[in-house]
């Protein structure tokens, strides 16, 4: 049986990566730990570059080649890449897992103008007992995470 406490809270930052604790869990056999979502801000410059025509071709060009090889399009590369972006939007370029956590980064002062999106770059068991953060936003939660990641009795 699994017990868990959900947090969905910003814990800390390492470099440009922001670590959120999704939950702390424990199983009856004392297997325990914490799960995370790791987000990185995408600057306006990077966003504009990746969503430009050249950026779309760089990112989606291989997909277009596959579509041509499979006879699923007769569009040219630039047209197809723009069409794919128009259909799926930013989610074709960035992993939006954890978008429910974005407001916590906005609260730190990362405006939508300067950072249009945040890309998920990791998740799951992303914490360790000896992990060092450049900045800690929730010391109490980090202490709980480190306790379960060192196999001490869970405090969920």
Are the beta carbons of 13 and 135 closer than 8 angstroms?
Answer: yes
Residue among 125, 122, 148, 144 nearest 11 (CA): 144
Containing H/E element for 21?
A: strand 17-27
Residue 86 · residue 99 · CB < 8 Å: no
- Its pTM stands at 0.89
Per-residue model confidence (pLDDT) at position 151: 61
- The parts of the chain modelled with pLDDT lower than 50 are 152, 154
H-helix or E-strand containing 18? Answer: strand 17-27
pLDDT 10s digits, 98-107 = 999 999 999 9
If you count DSSP H runs as helices and E runs as strands, how many of each does the chain have, helices first? Answer: 5, 5
Contact 117, 97 (CB under 8 A): no
Backbone phi, then psi, for 134, in 5-degree steps?
A: -70, -30
Torsion of CA 108, 113, 116, 121, to 10 degrees: -40
């Amino acid at each position: 049986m699994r017990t868990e406490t959900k947090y969905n809270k910003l814990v800390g930052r390492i470099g440009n990566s922001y670590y959120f604790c999704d939950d702390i869990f424990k199983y009856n056999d004392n297997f325990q730990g914490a799960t995370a979502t790791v987000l990185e801000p995408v600057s306006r410059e990077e966003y504009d570059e990746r969503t430009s025509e050249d950026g779309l071709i760089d990112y989606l060009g291989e997909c277009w080649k596959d579509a041509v090889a499979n006879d699923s399009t007769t569009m040219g590369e630039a047209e197809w890449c723009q069409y794919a972006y128009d259909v799926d939007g930013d989610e074709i370029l960035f992993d939006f897992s954890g978008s429910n956590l974005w407001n916590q980064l906005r609260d730190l002062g990362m405006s939508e103008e300067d950072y249009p999106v945040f890309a998920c770059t990791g998740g799951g068991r992303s914490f360790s007992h000896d992990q060092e953060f450049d900045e800690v936003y929730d010391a109490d939660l980090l202490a709980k995470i480190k306790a379960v990641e060192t196999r001490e009795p869970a405090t969920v």
